[in-house]
Amino acid sequence: MSEDATATAELKLPKDLAAEKGLVNVQIDGHWIQVPRGTRMIEAAKIAEKEIPHYCYHPKLSSPGNCRMCLVQMGMPPRPVPGEAPTFGDDGYQQIGWMPRPVIACANTVAENMGIRTTGELVESCREGVMEFLLINHPLDCPICDQAGECKLQEFSVQHGRGQSRFQETKIKKPKNVDIGKNIRLDDERCIMCSRCIRFMEEVAEEPVLGFSQRGTHTSVTVHPGRRLDNNYALNTADICPVGALTSNDFRFQMRVWFLKETKSIDLNCGTGCNTTIWTRANEVFRVTPRQNNDVNSDWMPDSHRLAFHHLESDARLTAPLIQKDGAHSSSTWTEAISKAAEGLNMRQPKEVAIIASARMSNEELYLAKKLADALGTDLISTVARKGDSDSKLISADRNPNSTGAALIFGNEDPSEKLDAIREGVSSGRIKALIVLQEDLLEEAGFDQSNLLGLEHLVSSHILANPTAAASKVVLPGAGFAEKRATYVNVTGRLQRAFQATLAPGDAREDWETLASLLSAVEKTFETPASVDGVIKALASEIPAFEGQSFGSIGDLGVQITETGVTIPLLEQEKARVESGLING
């Protein structure tokens, strides 16, 4: 570096250095940091790891600034009189002139040389005042309220509240326990009028049925007369409601959140693969909530998908391997069931065997299913396509969670291509033995009862009892989505992982184990891996797209392993809102 350049670098002020990168210098609680131009003060504080308590602000929604909880003290350099040059201190910053009045951090953006104080007498007395006003009419019946334990009002009241109420008058009565939609219950007394639910319904769900009515202390959230909050995204309002005003009909009063264990998982009801958290206690799933992933589902999730976990506790769950003898099923041991299943397969010609797998299966299961087909010498392996309509938000038209994974593993653009050939082979009697994995053939696959009864050997694996299981010679009970550790590839080509939250009931097993046992019974040289990680390892070494991947490398947010060109409509809509400056993102 020449002497000249060094000299100019030394002369450059922090503001110029930051400006080159499109950043600005902000002082937060005495420390200077650089943040992108246009950042909200609340987000800048988050970067500096300072929490500014807030209620109405949500990064994915517009900021009306109506709760006033996020008040902070702000300072700017004094405006120079005309003709006067700004003066910079030894550290290269201008002196900050602190404003006597607080500002809200959620709707204001940062500026060069700005100072923010997130603590201090002014800020703390503001928070205490806001808390006191919020609690004036609040019922404070936390022992009954379902939000207790995850309530921002409780938390901030402990952190910033007074501890004692000075309010002597009678509290205002508002509607309680209002039935406003099939999944949601409203308690207006607990509402703190943050308007998050209203903005969500308007901006994200695009069905603005919620709004405020009345004025002043009588303000309450209401649903539009003649309408109901029946949108398929309504339960997200219960998630973002900072208090117990909106609660989920399905979850309320079932269990206190502090007893629940959180397990990171993904939703398997469609190809989007929304990131989720499964909340369990002991071996029971209590609720499923969306988990933030800005490349998949943002912060949201459709109601129909989050409530779909109830099939796990169905009475129709298969809990032991079954063998059919003289038309009736009786439970058996795994060893017996596997050898029975393998026996019927080994005696056939390769041409007489086919496998119908499911694109609901994980990558590991599909990989082993493919290996099983290879071991049996058949190339008749197919999944079942499951198409619906996209809702132009999160629900994908592809209702299978792992079609992309199946395509990669089978090495076939359309993994369900051979289904017609198999169906035709079964009805003509050419195929004598069929393995069915996690599919009921009488549904989407288009088989009929006579096809199934015509088979000499039918082995199937299911979670719930169904007509295919009833017609099977051997039924192998499987594990549900919360009961196994597995990976899936979503419609956009993102490899994601799901952890195990509960154990499968009774003798039911994770399907990779079942497939591995079948495989070793058919092919004696096959070495059963010790855990599902061994299967991922084999898969990663064989299929190029999965190269180098392991459970650990995927991370909580997944990795893009292939580009399918598919986009998720809700994310596109959100991107447009970020670009137009409506939301922070």
Which range touches ligand SF4 (CB under 6 A), out of 17-25, 139-147, 515-523, 540-548?
139-147
**Of the residues 26, 41, 74, 104, which one makes contact with ligand FES according to CB under 6 A:** 104
Q: Write the single-letter amino acid at 483.
A: E
| Position 385 contacts ligand SF4 (CB under 6 A) | no
Which residue, 161 or 401, has its beta carbon nearer to ligand FES? 161
Choosing among ligand SF4, another protein, ligand FES, none, which partner's interface includes residue 68 (Cβ < 5 to 8 Å by kind)? ligand FES
Burial of 423 (0-12, 13-18, 19+ CB in 10 A): buried
| Position 160 contacts ligand FES (CB under 6 A) | no
Q: Which of these, 268, 310, 267, 258, lies nearest to 289 by C-alpha position? A: 267
Q: How many CA atoms lie within 13 A of 406 on its CB side?
A: 25
| Position 70 contacts ligand SF4 (CB under 6 A) | no
Q: Per-residue contact track with ligand SF4, 482 to 521, x per CB under 6 A?
A: ----------------------------------------
First-last CA distance in the chain = 41
d(CA 577, CA 579): 5
| Position 559 contacts ligand SF4 (CB under 6 A) | no
| Position 56 contacts ligand FES (CB under 6 A) | yes
- Identify whether the C-beta of residue 462 lies closer than 8 Å to the C-beta of residue 440: yes
Which residue, 26 or 285, has its beta carbon nearer to another protein? 285
Q: How many CB atoms lie within 10 A of CB 208?
A: 14
Which residue, 196 or 393, has its beta carbon nearer to ligand SF4? 196
Q: Which residues of 331-351 are buried (b: 16+ CB within 10 A; e: fewer)?
A: bbebeebbbbbbebbeebeee
Residues between 147 and 176 that touch another protein (CB under 8 A):
148, 170-171, 173, 176
Residues between 251 and 290 that touch another protein (CB under 8 A):
252-256, 258-259
For helices 363-376 and 403-410, what crossing angle results, to 10°?
30
| Position 228 contacts another protein (CB under 8 A) | no
Q: How many CB atoms lie within 10 A of CB 29?
A: 14
Which range touches ligand SF4 (CB under 6 A), out of 243-251, 318-326, 424-432, 463-471?
243-251
Which residue, 56 or 301, has its beta carbon nearer to ligand FES? 56
Burial of 130 (0-12, 13-18, 19+ CB in 10 A): buried
> What is the token pair recorded at 218?
């009588």
| Position 196 contacts ligand SF4 (CB under 6 A) | yes
| Position 130 contacts ligand FES (CB under 6 A) | no
d(CA 275, CA 488): 12
Which range touches ligand FES (CB under 6 A), out of 60-68, 170-178, 500-508, 519-527?
60-68
d(CA 360, CA 91): 60
d(CA 178, CA 215): 19
| Position 153 contacts ligand SF4 (CB under 6 A) | yes
Binding footprint of another protein, residue count (CB under 8 A)? 19
Burial of 44 (0-12, 13-18, 19+ CB in 10 A): buried
d(CA 135, CA 265): 36
| Position 67 contacts ligand FES (CB under 6 A) | yes
**Of the residues 68, 160, 317, 494, which one makes contact with ligand FES according to CB under 6 A:** 68
Q: Rounded to 5 degrees, what are φ and ψ at 247?
A: -130, 155
| Position 309 contacts ligand FES (CB under 6 A) | no
| Position 57 contacts ligand FES (CB under 6 A) | yes
The residues near 412 (Cβ < 8 Å, ≥ 6 apart) are none
Which residue, 98 or 133, has its beta carbon nearer to ligand SF4? 133
**Of the residues 26, 69, 268, 376, which one makes contact with ligand FES according to CB under 6 A:** 69
Q: Write the single-letter amino acid at 556.
A: D
Chain contacts with ligand SF4 (rule: CB under 6 A): 138-143, 145, 147-148, 151, 153-154, 190-197, 221, 241-246
Chain contacts with another protein (rule: CB under 8 A): 139-144, 148, 170-171, 173, 176-177, 252-256, 258-259
Chain contacts with ligand FES (rule: CB under 6 A): 54-57, 65-70, 104, 106
